[in-house]
Amino acid sequence: MLSARLGTRSWPLPATVIDASALIELLLQSDRASAVTRAILGTDMVAPDIVNVEVLSTLRRLERAGTVTSPRAAQAIDDLQAAPLRRWPTVAHRRSARHLGLSQ
């Protein structure tokens, strides 16, 4: 389980924004998982809530390609849900995000 591998958290911690590709490495314990773990160890792992959809989409693609078995994908989904990850809601920022590129 991902939360067990990352240890107990105490607050406040410096934040590390993690993306879906790094989460996939952790969830599937790939060759790169130890590097990701070193990068986030001792920090508060945060991500926009869209990361859930991105990880699920990637797991489904890997499962369909035969790279990941169905039971392994299901375990990764359970681990994602239990991960010590603070998910920031993105819906409230949709208007301001749309205008970011328009001010130039």
Average pLDDT for residues 47-64, to the nearest whole number? 96
**Residue extents of the structural domains in the chain:** 2-87
Residue 42 has pLDDT above 60, yes or no: yes
**Angle at 29 (CA atoms; ends 79, 86), nearest 5 degrees:** 40
Task: Quote the CA–CA distance of 37 and 27 in Å, as a whole number.
Answer: 11
Lowest mean pLDDT among 17-21, 61-65, 88-92: 88-92
pLDDT of residue 103: 52
Average pLDDT for residues 13-34, to the nearest whole number? 95
Fold of 2-87: Rossmann fold (3.40.50)
Q: Which residues of 61-72 are buried (b: 16+ CB within 10 A; e: fewer)?
A: ebbeeeebeeeb
Confidence of residue 102 (pLDDT cuts 50, 70, 90): low
pLDDT of residue 90: 84
pLDDT of residue 6: 54
